[in-house]
Structures are given as C-alpha cells and as structure tokens.
Structure 1
Amino acid sequence: MTTFQSRAIFFVAALFTTIAACADPVCKDRTTEGSSSSASNRLPGVMYFNSKPKDSAQCSMRVVDGHLQVSAPISNPAMSCPDMAAWKLFADAVTQKFWENWAADQQTWPGQPLPICTSKGAANCCDPNTTNNPGYGDKANPAQNCPYFPGDHLSANAELPIRVAGPMSKAHLTSFAHGVNIKLLAADETGRDIRQSMSEIVFRNKPMFEYVFENDLYHQEGVQAVFNRNSANISGQSAGLPYRLKVQDGGLTEIDLPVDSVMIKSDWLSKKRAEKLGLHDDPANPYIKMTIDTRATDNNGNIQQPGEHWLVAMHISSKDTPNWLWATWEHVNNPGRCDYIGCNDSYGYSTPDKIAANQADNYTTPNYECDDLDLASWVFKPNGHYDGGQRSKGMAEVFAGLGIGMHESSAANPKNIEPSISDRGWLSYRLKGTQTEFTDTMGRPTHLANSVTEGGFVLSSSCVTCHARAGATAKGTIPLALGVFTNVANESGYLQSVSGAPDPNLFNADNQPPALTVLQTDFIWGFLTATCLNGAPFPCGSSTALRATAPTNKPRPSIRALIPH
C-alpha cells in the first residue's frame, strides 16, 4: 500500500467518524420485504449555505486605554468582519451601561408630545438643547411630553429607576392562519412560548436619540412633514426632478440616521414565567437580571407584574452600513437556540460540533433526528440543547480588558435589581449570527433569526428585509404602511415573513413622475411608537388632533393594538 493510499483511507475513515459523531447513526427505511436501507440526510446540503464564515481571516481587535480598537488593515469592520463588529457593539453597549443610560422607546417618542420649540425661551414646547424640558421633573414619567435621554440626568449615586417594558414589538407580531387549532401549534418549541409572554425594551444610543429629537421626528406630525416634503419634490411642486432637496435643519426630505446610531432590542422573561417554562438560572451560565415593571397593555391583558426578569435574547443594530448591521444573541441555554438555520459566529465562540481538523469552526448545525417512518427521512429535532462552544482568545481578551463578566452578580437592592458591567452573566450569551445584505453574492436571500423573537418564522426571517419595510405615508406610520408578513402560513399556521431584496414598487408608483407611496424610515420600526402632538387622537393633523388636550396619565396602548394580527 502506498503512502498516498494510506492517507486516503485514513481521511475517509476520519470523515465517516465525524459524520457518525454528529448525527444519529440509524435512520433506515423499513420496506415491506423486511429489508432496510439507510436514508441519506439531505439537510446538511441545505445548511451548507448558512455555514459560510462571515469574517475575514485578518479580523482582529484589542483593548487600548479602555477602548476597543480594530486592528489594521481592516478599514470597514461592519462589512469585512461583521461578527467581530457585532461583538464590539455588544462590548461597547455593556461598558456604556445601555440599560441605564440609553433611551427606551417610551423616552424617545413621548406619549403626550409637545411641539418643538421654535424660539429661545418659548414655553410649552420641547427644546433639544436644554435639560429642563416640560415633564422632566416627573420622576415617574419624565418623558411624558418631551424626549428624555436618561444618561443626561443620572447623578453619580442615583439608583436606576424601574424600567417599563412593553410586549413583543411591532415588526414581529404574527397571526394565525384561519382555522388553525392553537393547541396543536408547535407545542414543543419553548422559544415561541417565551416570545408570546416576554417583555421587551428597545434602547437607542445618544446619536440616534438626538437625531429624532433635533429633527422633530418624535411625533407623528413630524414624520408626516418629511413624507410631504419628499412627495412634493418628486411631484415637481418644489425643486423638481431629478434633483433632491438639500438636508436642512427642520426640513428633512428623507430619514437618514447618523452612522454612529445604535439600537438594542432586549427581551426579558419574568423569573416566575421562566421557571414555569422550565428555564433555570444555571450557576455556570447565569442570566443578566433586572427589575422591570411591565405595565404596557397587551391584547392578553397585563401579562406581567413588577419583579425580577431574565435577559433571554437581544438584537443589536448599527448604522455602520447604509442597510445597517444586524446581529442577534441568545442565552446559551435557550432551548432550540440553533434550530432550523444553525448558529454562525466567526469571532466569539467556536462550534461545539465534532468537526474534522480541517473544517471551519464557526458554524453550529441544527439538531437532526430520524422520523422513524417506513420510508425514513432525516428531519429537524427542535427545542434541544446546544453547548456553548469555546470562547476565542480574542474574545476572552476583550472581555478581560474591559472588565466584562469578571465577577458574580450582586444585587445591592433586591427590590430593584440592575445589571453591572462586571456581571458574569454577560458571558452566558452567544451570537446567533449577523446580516448586512439582502442577498449573498450568488443572489440567495440571506436570513437571520432569533429562536425567541422570531419564534414561529425562523426559516423565513430576514432582519434587514423586515426593517426595510418600515415606513410612513402621508398619514404617518399609523396605519401601518407595509406589513412584515406574507399571505403564506407554515405547517403550524404561523404567517411567514419576507426575505430577499425589497420590492421597489412598494415605495414609489410605477409611473412618471414616480409618486411617493411609502417613505422608508431608515429601517426603524420604532416610529410606530410616535403619537400625535399633545396626545391627540388619530388621525393626526385633523381639527381634533390639532386641538391641545390636557395631559393624562392614561397608559399608552400596546403596540399590538396597532398591528393587524
């Protein structure tokens, strides 16, 4: 036997050993003649298109003087190193204490918004350049009338106010196909159960908050004005085609957030609900915990009460690219964390899968099993556990250099629990994947999904496509300009979301001039939270809406009330 033949035999043996270790070794057809033949697993061939490493081999970053720096020659990490860039966003957000300093939706879009001030010293209006706007003195609800950024008002020893969360956000409210028996729907998928009972807080950093406030976009009338200016230009009522109007203070014709804008969608489950669903606070992988008062009204009533909540999932999006960088994390112990599409992380943690020495270690494949039918097939095995994998040397150095996750959590006030930078719970989260484009280089639609926030439509989910449909009409963002879900249901009855490149005919009429039908709101569904000036009823701008109304403490409607479902 030649050396080449020996090596070939060794390679084949190693390959089959790897395959056997990764999958159930028995999946056989049982024919009527009593013989059997092994069923081939076709799913790995499908998953192959999800497994491509996202980061260049040259990607690296390090902590310098307490700040993360991307190493040369990388000049655009969001495009060349999206997974590393995602972890940088994660680390930066934690060190900035996003849960304490950043503005939530309720603080970006007030419930009873006053108009923006047009002159210095004006009363009953909101001034982006002052820290003493109407309502700021109300400790219970300082953002009732004007946008409020908490980080500008926290003293060194101030205790974090109990956060107020809402139910599942605007873009992700699915509905059942007609006639489907809810009791039969994917009962073994804990992610969907969590999704339908969790609380959500969306945080926005200072550049994003300031853009909304300074450009008068914190109420529906401000968004309407941008649509109308854009529409007038296209129709020839202003400068006319083919030119666009210059961006001027107070006169936007498009919504285009600053490149340093970052938003975080954090999803929390109350301790009681978590334990009821079979989740436990694993000492080896503790949850990040926070006291949350979820007074928002859901279609199912008030589903939560004030108390301890566990962070189960989070999305981070940044304007590092025109289409934004999209990244999603889950707690390592979430059941079904890598189901259906797998998990892909080129930077933070290697796959726990048993792979060959010459295989890339970025991808964790979904769990499979044999369906044990007479004509057998390999199928997904949902709701199982996935090991967390090995933390990379670079990731470990980043966490250590920034002091993230170095100590056990300690609650100074058990009645008002808040995270800390050093909380070891931050080490319990795994990157599910990132997304920067609508399609890959071969034209296939890209997908990104979280088993919690996209539970029920993981296979069709695309963050970038979903958010590209966020828009406004001449009436503002209410009623909803474009939906997220298609008129197609999966086998369980959940409607599926859209993916791939957007349809341009949804935004402009297919004629000349190309009349504006939907103004994109720069991938931000949060504008759905905006209300009419002075809290007037919809439709904004009517004689009823323009009439000043007395502020009330009436709770704001759930976002679910605004979305067909």
Structure 2
Amino acid sequence: MSCPDAFAWKIFTEAVRGEFWSRWTTDVQMWPTAPWPVCEPGQTENCCSTVEVSNNPDPEHCPVRPDPALGMPAHTPHEPGKAHQVSMEDAAKTDRDGDGSIDWDDVPPELKTAVIGAEQVELVYHNRPMTDYIFANGLYHTDGLGRVFQTRAGVMEHYAPYNGVAGTGPLSQIDLPIRSLMLKANLLDIRKAKELGIDLEKNADYITLDLPKGGNTPETGTYILLSFHISSKDLPNWFWTTFEHVDNQGRCDWIGCNDSFGYVARVSEGPTARDDLPEPADNYVSPNQLEMADGAVVAFDLARTYDADSEMRDGLAAVFKTLGIGTGAANESGTPRPADPAWRNYRLKGSQTNFVTPTGRPTQLGNSVTEAGFTNSSSCISCHARASATEKGLPNLSIFVSDLSDAGLPKSTNGVPAPSWFTTSAYYGVGDQVLAPGLVAVQTDFVWGFRNACPIEVGAQGPHRCAKKD
C-alpha cells in the first residue's frame, strides 16, 4: 500500500519469470464449453477429478493447466469484450491530410486508440492458485455460481445483520486466495501494425507470440504484445496495475503515466516549473497538451507517442539483472523468454489500491489499448467490482454505464461501488417477513472471467460460446 509502484514491478517480474504465456490457464481453458461437475467420491464418469495438465487450448468438459514441457499452448486470441468497435473504415471517411489516400493519418486523434482497441485481440491468464480455487469450489460452470448465490441469499435472510461473515460449509461468497494473479494481454497481428501507424523498423522491439488465427484456419500468425494488465489478490479488493509498450500512441493520454519505482519520467511536456513552487516530481508523465493563445494549457494533444528515452532507475535495473529479465539476446522464435530484451520496452502506466483518494476523489487507471476509447473514465477496481453472478450463474452488469464520452463512446464506471448493483432494499414474501433484503447478484471477487462460465446442462442459458442442443 505504501509502495504500490514497486509492488507493480514485483508482480511484473513474477509473471514474466513464471512464463505466464506457457504455464498459466487462460479463460477458455478455465471455463469449458460443456462442463462436467467435480467428481463426487466414487464417481469416475462424466465428471472432473482434477485440473488436468494439458495444452489443449479449448477443453470441452474439464479445466486444464498448460505445461511448457508439452510445447507452446496453441491459444486462440479472441476479440475483447467491448461495447464499441470503431473500425478503420468508420473512423477515416475522408482524406483529411490531402495526400490522395485514406489512411492512418486521416483518423481523428480522438478515435485512434479506439481503432487500435478494436483491432487488437486479447488473452486472459490465471495462475495456479487462482485456477485451483475455481476448480475446487466448482466455479467453472454456472451451476456452481448459482449455488453460491443461493447460499448467499440464505445467509442474508437467516444471519442478518451479520451476513458478511463467512463460516465453514457451503460457499456463500467468492474469495480467491491471496496468491492469485490474473493477467490480460493485448496483442496485435503484426501484419496490421503499419496500417495502424506502428513502424516496427523504427519503433522499439516488442515481445512477440506465434498463435493460431482462430476458427477453422490453421495458419499461425505472429502477434506483438501492446500492453497488459496484472491484478493480484494481495489486497482484499485486489491490487491493480497496467503496463504499455513505450511506443504506444496515446500511452499517457488523458490521465498521464505514473511510476515512482521503475523509470525516471521526462516532464518536458508538462507545465513549466515556477521558482516559487517545488520542482515537478520525476515519477509522472503528463498527457501531451497544447498551449493555447492566452498561454493556458487546457487542451490535450491526443494519440502521439511519448518520450522513449526514459531512464530505468537503479532499483529496477538491479531486479532485472538479478532475475535475468531482459538480459539476453534478441528472440525471434515466437515463444517469449524471460531474458528477452524487449521486456525493457514496457512501461508502468500506473497502480491502483483504492476506489477513492483520501479526499473522496475517484481514482482512475486505464490502458490506452485495453480501455481504448474510455481511458478518461476508467477505473480498474471500480469496473471489476461490478463483476457478478445472478441466481442462474450469469453476469448481472456490463462493463459500461449509460453515459457517453465527449467522443460519443461508452464510459465505464469509477468511484465506490453502488449497493444496488448487488442487493435490493426490500421485496415481498420471504418466510413470515413482509419485507426483507433481497439479493440481486453475488459479487465474483472482482473477476470478470466468470462471465465465461457455461451451464452443465447442454443448451441451458449461458454465454454464446457454450455448447448448444442439436
């Protein structure tokens, strides 16, 4: 809590050293499309006895855990769950720069990150403690989530007002173990890079992964790692942090970039220092801004890159050297390694530990790729607080709220959660009570991945990806 940026780099190194790309379970591997229940004692058929060690990227019945000894898992990247998809064609309708063609330079600055966000794909990974908890408690299918809801509703009714206390017995709330880590990686097909203003010959090197194209196409493609979120259950409401490639366009737009441990910030784009005020801190990169005619700095200059010559601090340099991160030769194999020097080209965007500041102002954290188009309203902790499951084990809330940004794109939420997301103050007909609190949804411990859960009964209500009846 006192050194969040240092802790952000700690879990960065843990994830890289742990080779998350080949050892951690993805969303698709965690939530099968036609799940079987956990085996009861003596049961051996049509049930799951354990999290199997397998590189199967799309298991049908039981969760699996990949093993690098079996080779690189053939994970299929999927489109991000977004409310808006701004295509290149929609964003660039006219030849704005008059060069005779419609290209990246014709996309308005306020839409460039949204276009990149629509073109990128993602993979979400979970480490072993997180995977084991979800399996052991039967939370990899909607039936298990529904049981938690039913138990929680009973606890609310029977133990009121002490309904927040979790005892032994049936699970009444989802509370992942402290060692849980989840990571969302944002990837871009390398063949699309130049079209989106990314010159791989001039820009700093990227971590690359060779992954299938998906669907019925067996072709393998190379993807560059644009950015990634990491979340850690070391805090009850999780610890949140996000990293971006140093050359991402708009990397520090809207909310700036903050890193008090890893790299010294270049503050040349920020306000000019005044003799009667303290010198600007060297941990914060201000958003690129335009100076107005009257000298006031009031307008953002969007979708440009930020100074790539920032200096790594001695502390992080010592950590990287000791752990062997970014210390090797260039790697073009398509399978990342901890020693890849390209890991040195990723920068901390910021860290988050609370919903609001001590003065009550909502904290914000967003990534120009993951939260493309709504970075100015994004809060990781507030958004993930909305992750929930209803009586049928289905999500209750969306990522977005009923409001639009100045660019006309959906906003996410920030600030403290609203009790109405999960409970209703009164409803009729519970036992002998005329009025009693009602449960709308049970919180899934800040994990949106549970919305991928499918029902055990084939064809029952669930996400589109689930197995259907013939």
Q: TM-score range by the shorter chain?
A: 0.7 to 0.9
In the alignment, the residues of structure 2 paired with residue 141 and residue 385 of structure 1 have an alpha-carbon distance, to the nearest angstrom, of 35
In the alignment, the residues of structure 2 paired with residue 267 and residue 97 of structure 1 have an alpha-carbon distance, to the nearest angstrom, of 16
Q: Give the deviation of 1:192 after TM superposition.
A: 1.5
Q: What's the counterpart of residue 418 of structure 1?
A: 335
In the alignment, the residues of structure 2 paired with residue 557 and residue 490 of structure 1 have an alpha-carbon distance, to the nearest angstrom, of 33
Q: Give the deviation of 1:382 after TM superposition.
A: 0.5
Matches within 5 A, 1:253-402: 253-281=172-200, 285-295=204-214, 306-354=220-268, 358-370=279-291, 378-388=298-308, 389-402=310-323
SS of 1:306 mapped into structure 2:
strand
Q: What's the counterpart of residue 409 of structure 1?
A: 330
Q: Deviations over 1:123-155 (max 9, x none)?
A: 221012x747xxx5xx6556221010113xx43
Deviates more, 1:376-385 or 1:215-224: 376-385
- Check the 8 A contact 1:111/1:531 in 2, yes or no: yes
Q: What's the counterpart of residue 533 of structure 1?
A: 456
Q: What's the counterpart of residue 509 of structure 1?
A: 424
Q: Give the deviation of 1:464 after TM superposition.
A: 0.5
Q: Give the deviation of 1:279 after TM superposition.
A: 0.8
Percent of aligned pairs with the same amino acid: 37
Q: Structure 1 182/277 Cα, relative in aligned 2: closer, same or farther at 3 Å?
A: closer
Q: What's the counterpart of residue 60 of structure 1?
A: none
Q: What's the counterpart of residue 556 of structure 1?
A: 465
Q: What's the counterpart of residue 407 of structure 2?
A: 492
In the alignment, the residues of structure 1 paired with residue 164 and residue 354 of structure 2 have an alpha-carbon distance, to the nearest angstrom, of 26
Q: Deviations over 1:502-554 (max 9, x none)?
A: 111221112353211121000000001111115x12326xxxx9xxxxxxxxx
SS of 2:449 mapped into structure 1:
helix
SS of 2:411 mapped into structure 1:
strand
Q: Deviations over 1:455-506 (max 9, x none)?
A: 11111111110000000111212xx411222222122210111110011122
Q: What's the counterpart of residue 75 of structure 2?
A: 163
Q: Residue type matched to 1:313 in 2?
A: S
- Check the 8 A contact 2:257/2:284 in 1, yes or no: yes
Corresponding position: 1:85 with 2:7: yes
Scaled by the length of structure 2, the TM-score of the pair is 0.86
SS of 1:314 mapped into structure 2:
strand
Q: Structure 1 278/494 Cα, relative in aligned 2: closer, same or farther at 3 Å?
A: same
- Check the 8 A contact 1:287/1:428 in 2, yes or no: yes
Q: Structure 1 282/332 Cα, relative in aligned 2: closer, same or farther at 3 Å?
A: farther
In the alignment, the residues of structure 1 paired with residue 120 and residue 359 of structure 2 have an alpha-carbon distance, to the nearest angstrom, of 37
SS of 1:291 mapped into structure 2:
strand
Deviates more, 1:403-412 or 1:193-202: 403-412
Q: Give the deviation of 1:322 after TM superposition.
A: 1.1
Of 502, 511, 521, 2:444 maps to: 521
In the alignment, the residues of structure 2 paired with residue 346 and residue 110 of structure 1 have an alpha-carbon distance, to the nearest angstrom, of 41
Q: Give the deviation of 1:332 after TM superposition.
A: 0.2
Q: Structure 1 369/358 Cα, relative in aligned 2: closer, same or farther at 3 Å?
A: closer
Q: Structure 1 391/282 Cα, relative in aligned 2: closer, same or farther at 3 Å?
A: farther
Deviates more, 1:400-409 or 1:202-211: 400-409
Q: Deviations over 1:232-276 (max 9, x none)?
A: 22223xx66535675446x21100110111000000000011122
In the alignment, the residues of structure 2 paired with residue 330 and residue 483 of structure 1 have an alpha-carbon distance, to the nearest angstrom, of 25
SS of 2:214 mapped into structure 1:
coil
Equivalent residue pairs, number: 435
In the alignment, the residues of structure 2 paired with residue 277 and residue 283 of structure 1 have an alpha-carbon distance, to the nearest angstrom, of 14
In the alignment, the residues of structure 1 paired with residue 422 and residue 329 of structure 2 have an alpha-carbon distance, to the nearest angstrom, of 50
Q: Deviations over 1:343-399 (max 9, x none)?
A: 000100111123869432100011111466x99873100011211311000000000
- Check the 8 A contact 1:111/1:144 in 2, yes or no: yes
Alignment gaps of 5+ in structure 1: 1-78, 546-554, 559-565
- Check the 8 A contact 1:202/1:263 in 2, yes or no: yes
In the alignment, the residues of structure 1 paired with residue 260 and residue 296 of structure 2 have an alpha-carbon distance, to the nearest angstrom, of 34
- Check the 8 A contact 1:255/1:521 in 2, yes or no: yes
- Check the 8 A contact 2:421/2:440 in 1, yes or no: yes
Larger radius of gyration: 1
Q: What's the counterpart of residue 430 of structure 2?
A: none
In the alignment, the residues of structure 2 paired with residue 142 and residue 277 of structure 1 have an alpha-carbon distance, to the nearest angstrom, of 30
Q: Deviations over 1:103-133 (max 9, x none)?
A: 00011111121111011452221012x747x
Q: Residue type matched to 1:173 in 2?
A: A
Q: Structure 1 398/141 Cα, relative in aligned 2: closer, same or farther at 3 Å?
A: closer
Q: Deviations over 1:293-347 (max 9, x none)?
A: 24269xxxx9x96300000010000011111111011100001111111100010
Q: Deviations over 1:213-233 (max 9, x none)?
A: 000000011101100111122
Q: What's the counterpart of residue 83 of structure 2?
A: 173
Q: Structure 1 557/278 Cα, relative in aligned 2: closer, same or farther at 3 Å?
A: farther
Q: Residue type matched to 1:525 in 2?
A: W
Of 417, 425, 450, 2:367 maps to: 450
Q: Which has the higher strand share?
A: 2
Q: What's the counterpart of residue 441 of structure 1?
A: 358
Corresponding position: 1:146 with 2:55: no
In the alignment, the residues of structure 2 paired with residue 468 and residue 310 of structure 1 have an alpha-carbon distance, to the nearest angstrom, of 30
Q: Residue type matched to 2:234 in 1?
A: D
SS of 1:396 mapped into structure 2:
helix
Q: Residue type matched to 2:300 in 1?
A: F
In the alignment, the residues of structure 1 paired with residue 349 and residue 423 of structure 2 have an alpha-carbon distance, to the nearest angstrom, of 35
Q: Which runs of 4+ in 1 moved over 6 A?
A: 374-377
Of 110, 113, 117, 2:39 maps to: 117
Query: What is the root-mean-square deviation in Å for CA atoms of aligned residues?
Result: 2.8
- Check the 8 A contact 1:407/1:423 in 2, yes or no: yes
Q: What's the counterpart of residue 48 of structure 2?
A: 126
Alignment gaps of 5+ in structure 2: 94-105, 427-434
- Check the 8 A contact 2:148/2:173 in 1, yes or no: yes
